Amino acid sequence: MTPRIISCLRNYNEGLFMKDLMAGIIVGIVALPLAIAFGIASGVTPEKGIITAIVAGFLISLLGGSKVQIGGPTGAFIVIIYGIVNNPEYGLQGLLIATILAGVILIALGAFRLGVIIKFIPYPIIIGFTAGIALTIFTTQISDILGLTQTAISNTGEVIRIPLKTPGDFIGKWICYAQNIGTFNLWNFIVAIGSLLIIIFLPKALKRVPGLNKIPGSLYGILLGTVAVIIMKHFGIEGIDTIGDRFQIQAQLPEMVVPSITFELIQKLMPVAFTIAILGAIESLLSAAVADGVISDKHDSNMELIAQGVANMVTPLFGGIPATGAIARTMTNINNGGRTPVAGIIHAIVLLAILLLLMPYAEYIPMASLAAVLVIVAYNMSGWRTVKGLFKNPKSDVIVLGVTFFLTVVFDLTIAIEVGLILACALFMKRIMETTEISVIKDEIDLGDASDISVNEEHLTIPQGCTVYEINGPFFFGVANKFDDLMANSGRERPKVRIIRMRKVPFIDSTGIHNLQTLIEMNHAEGIHVILSGVNKKVHSQLLKARFYDLMESDHICDHIDVALAKARKILEK
């Protein structure tokens, strides 16, 4: 596992550098409004979003396993970060610790080469919680779009209006909006809708204009929205909040501070840290996989997870928030010529320059314009076309998607992922159970499939007093009881010999072995002989390790069904 930048620099040249330079500058400009918006929406200050993009973006490009991955804060984390920051028990300190723990988990996943495991998380779960996060982000922006406020008492005892403070839960937010809809500010709404229309349509109008077609719609929306609000305030129109009205901008890099970590906090925050790690791993590896398809490359998933882990361990030390690979910024990097991690490093340097030189001007940015940016982010995250397509899939996938979406929106992202995984596993086992068939054969063996027949005969007749049970599929804890029920309901007549044909059993687990052992013991107690037929090498090895064959005589274990029937005849003749 080696960072991709090492192999990229071996054949690096001036031409590649110029492409990376241009891509890095453009991606830095694209990342600016998003970093500010994600920081504020997460419940922290705008500069913390930029610091995250700088530190994490630099480290992910420097250490990552992808050539073109761009790291930074993303919309996926907004919901969980906001919940931690606004929890009196944790606050910002708890967020920093949870992020560091998530970094440790990500490094462990990469170091033990478990990057491939993330690919096995069911697609409906990913779509479900992503769509749920999108709806939650949209919901959090309603107050800034409508300009809702509430009354408060100032230090001088004067009654003033302040931005609406909403509950943390989804339903509570909408109830609060309904209760305060009377404070609706038309000018605020006009700025939000105007910014939204600019973000959507202006890049299309400038598509063929060289230079201007490289600037993202979100930046146009924020710049023009800011100019509009400055003009409106000049003419006496009030009530439109800007970043400066809510936050004190600090245009400097913070000092490194190590948070105080206790074992008690680790215990409480571990579930949240696990969620952050899983979210980060999923989003970064999905982004890297999409990028691979565009540039015809293959990323190192384990090295990418280690880079994500290091970034999430270091960034909180400077007051940053969780970070991961960002697909929109990664695609912007590719589309503008970026082909090595140098472009990602340049993007971080551009953001650092903006933070130190231009950040004071961010106080004029209207919250309504940032809300418009986040509405677009939520729309792009929602994947409504994918959700619509999944409704044509099996009902089990729809159930997993629906439950994950509902729990993400109404309850908690951690709960949604946990329950979604459990439900997906349960439904998967149900499908496997349905594919495993256990049939009873009492008359004649079908010679159409001669996989475990060693003789050339036209018919293989089952002697009277013998019953053949054929298992077709994996014999694991989900289907082990099915075999017991079949034998219990096979009638009052008890055969003298039972042959269990296992030629189509690809694997067996400990529960299946236990049930098979119990079955043989019960049959022996009733004086019934049990013969196994057609056990493959893998299953035979598992039975051998479990000392299963101590229960049976060696000649009762047969490679072929005709040999098993011959043995049954000898037993019946006695």
pLDDT digits (tens, 9 = 90+) for 422-468: 888 888 777 777 777 887 876 667 665 555 666 656 567 888 889 88
Residue 499 lies in a domain: yes
DSSP 70-118: -EE--GGGHHHHHHHHT-TTTHHHHHHHHHHHHHHHHHHHHHTT-GGGG
Closest Cα partner for 229 from 345, 99, 363, 418?
363
pLDDT for position 542? 87
* One domain, residues 264 and 367: yes
> Which residue among 426, 452, 486 closes a domain?
426
Which residues, including other chains, have CB under 8 Å from residue 445's CB and lie 6 or more apart? Answer: 453, 459, 460, 461, 462, 468, 561, 565
DSSP 126-183: HHHHHHHHHHHHHHHTHHHHHT-EEEEE-TTS-EEEEEPP--SSHHHHHHHHHHTGGG
CATH of the domain at 495: 3.30.750.24
Q: How many domains does the chain have?
A: 2
Residue 100 lies in a domain: yes
Residue 5 lies in a domain: no
221-278 pLDDT per residue, tens? 999 999 999 999 888 888 888 998 888 878 788 888 888 888 888 999 999 999 999 9
Which residues, including other chains, have CB under 8 Å from residue 73's CB and lie 6 or more apart? Answer: 34, 35, 38, 39, 42, 49, 52, 53, 56, 320, 321, 322, 323, 326
Residue 131 lies in a domain: yes
Query: Do the Cβ atoms of 503 and 537 come closer than 8 Å?
Result: no
Measured distance CA(374)–CA(372) in Å, rounded: 5
* One domain, residues 383 and 252: yes
Query: Do the Cβ atoms of 323 and 315 come closer than 8 Å?
Result: yes
* One domain, residues 386 and 442: no
Number of neighbours of residue 16 by Cβ within 10 angstroms = 18
Q: In which residue are the tokens 């006009």 written? A: 190
47-68 pLDDT per residue, tens? 999 999 999 999 999 999 999 9
313-337 pLDDT per residue, tens? 999 999 999 999 998 899 989 988 9
Which residues, including other chains, have CB under 8 Å from residue 377's CB and lie 6 or more apart? Answer: 34, 37, 75, 137
* One domain, residues 368 and 487: no
Tokens linked to 167: 């509950």
* One domain, residues 462 and 528: yes
pLDDT for position 492? 58
From edge to edge, which strands make up the β-sheet containing 557-558? 437-441, 466-472, 497-504, 529-533, 557-558
* One domain, residues 360 and 447: no
* One domain, residues 418 and 494: no
* One domain, residues 241 and 140: yes
Residue type for position 453: I
Measured distance CA(50)–CA(427) in Å, rounded: 42
> Which residue among 357, 391, 426 closes a domain?
426
Collapsed DSSP state (helix, strand, coil) of residue 272 = helix
* One domain, residues 51 and 79: yes
pLDDT for position 358? 86
Residue 11 lies in a domain: no
pLDDT for position 540? 87
Q: What is the 3 state secondary structure string of 122-141?
A: CHHHHHHHHHHHHHHHHHHC
Which residues, including other chains, have CB under 8 Å from residue 222's CB and lie 6 or more apart? Answer: 33, 195, 365, 369, 370, 373
> Residue-wise over 373-410: b if at least 16 C-beta within 10 A, else e?
bbbbbbeebbbeeebeebeeeeebbbebbebbbebbbe
Query: Do the Cβ atoms of 466 and 496 come closer than 8 Å?
Result: yes
Q: How many residues does the chain have?
A: 574
Query: Do the Cβ atoms of 303 and 54 come closer than 8 Å?
Result: no
Collapsed DSSP state (helix, strand, coil) of residue 387 = helix
> Which residue among 402, 426, 450 closes a domain?
426
The residues of the chain scoring below 50 in pLDDT are none
Residue 17 lies in a domain: no
pLDDT for position 560? 85
* One domain, residues 259 and 360: yes
Please state whether beta strands 71-72 and 497-504 pair in parallel, antiparallel, or not at all (unpaired): unpaired
Closest Cα partner for 364 from 247, 266, 211, 494?
247
* One domain, residues 196 and 261: yes
Number of neighbours of residue 450 by Cβ within 10 angstroms = 15
Query: Do the Cβ atoms of 324 and 57 come closer than 8 Å?
Result: no
Residue 169 lies in a domain: no
Which residues, including other chains, have CB under 8 Å from residue 101's CB and lie 6 or more apart? Answer: 266, 269, 270, 273, 277
pLDDT for position 440? 82
* One domain, residues 530 and 400: no
Range(s) of the domain holding residue 568: 437-573
Collapsed DSSP state (helix, strand, coil) of residue 341 = coil
Residue 38 lies in a domain: yes
- Phi then psi dihedrals of residue 165, to 5 deg: -95, 120
Tokens linked to 5: 């930048």
Burial of 260 (0-12, 13-18, 19+ CB in 10 A): exposed
